[in-house]
Structure 1
Amino acid sequence: MNAEQLRQYLEYFRDLGITHITAPDASQLAAISAAPPVPEAVRPAAAPVAPIATPPPIVAAPVPMKTPVNDLVLPTLAPEGDTLARIREEIGDCKRCRLCEARKSIVFGSGNEKARLVFVGEGPGADEDAQGVPFVGRAGQLLTAMIDGTAAKDSLPLRREDCYICNVVKCRPPDNRTPLPDEMEICGQFLYRQLMTLQPKAICALGSTAARALLNTKEGVTKMRGRWQRWNGIPLMVTYHPSYLLRAYNVEAKKEAWTDLRKLFHFVLDDSKVHPE
Structure 2
Amino acid sequence: MSRPVDALLDFLRSEEVRGVTHIHLDDQAKELLRELHRRARAPKQAPARATSVSAPVAAIAEEPASSSPVSAAAPPVAAFVPAISAPAAGSAAEKIAALAAQAENWAPARKLGTLRTTMVFSTGSPEADLMLVGEAPGYQEELQREPFVGPAGQKLNDILKAMGLAREQAYISNIVKFRPATPGQTTNNRKPTLEEMASCLSFVRAEVEIVKPHCIVALGGTAAEGLLGLTGSVSAMRGKWYEFNGIPVRVTYHPSYLLRSTSVRDKRAVWEDMMEAMEKLGMPVSDKQRSFFLPKA
TM-score interval, smaller chain: 0.5 to 0.7
Match of 1:71 among 36, 42, 45: 42
Q: CA deviation at 1:214?
A: 1.2
Tell me the equivalent position of 2:166.
159
Are 1:115 and 1:200, in contact at CA under 8 Å, matched by a contact in 2?
yes
Q: CA deviation at 1:172?
A: 1.1
1:84 matched to 2:84? The reply is no
Across the two proteins, how many residue pairs are aligned to each other? 197
1:145 matched to 2:152? The reply is no
TM-score, structure 1 normalization: 0.65
1:193 matched to 2:206? The reply is yes
CA distance in structure 2 between the aligned counterparts of 1:183 and 1:91, rounded to whole angstroms: 13
Alpha-carbon distance change, 195 to 96 in structure 1, aligned in 2, over 3 angstroms? farther
Q: CA deviation at 1:270?
A: 4.6
Tell me the equivalent position of 1:250.
263
CA distance in structure 1 between the aligned counterparts of 2:280 and 2:201, rounded to whole angstroms: 26
Query: Which stretches of structure 1, 4 residues or longer, exceed 6 Å deviation after superposition?
Result: none
- Unaligned ranges ≥5, structure 2: 1-37, 55-82, 90-94, 182-187, 285-297
Q: CA deviation at 1:186?
A: 0.7
Superposed CA RMSD: 2.4
> Equivalent residue of 1:172, what SS?
strand
Alpha-carbon distance change, 97 to 140 in structure 1, aligned in 2, over 3 angstroms? same
CA distance in structure 2 between the aligned counterparts of 1:97 and 1:147, rounded to whole angstroms: 35
Tell me the equivalent position of 2:291.
none
Tell me the equivalent position of 1:97.
112
Deviations 1:29-66 (A, max 9, x none): xxxxxxxxxxxxxxxxxxxxxxxxxxxxxxxxxxxxxx
Deviations 1:52-111 (A, max 9, x none): xxxxxxxxxxxxxxx6862166969664728212211212234233244x44x3110010
Q: CA deviation at 1:201?
A: 0.4
Are 2:103 and 2:177, in contact at CA under 8 Å, matched by a contact in 1?
no
CA distance in structure 1 between the aligned counterparts of 2:103 and 2:150, rounded to whole angstroms: 24
Tell me the equivalent position of 1:18.
none
Are 1:204 and 1:237, in contact at CA under 8 Å, matched by a contact in 2?
yes
One-letter amino acid matched to 1:238: V
% identity of equivalent residues: 36
Q: CA deviation at 1:182?
A: 1.2
Tell me the equivalent position of 2:130.
117
1:177 matched to 2:184? The reply is no
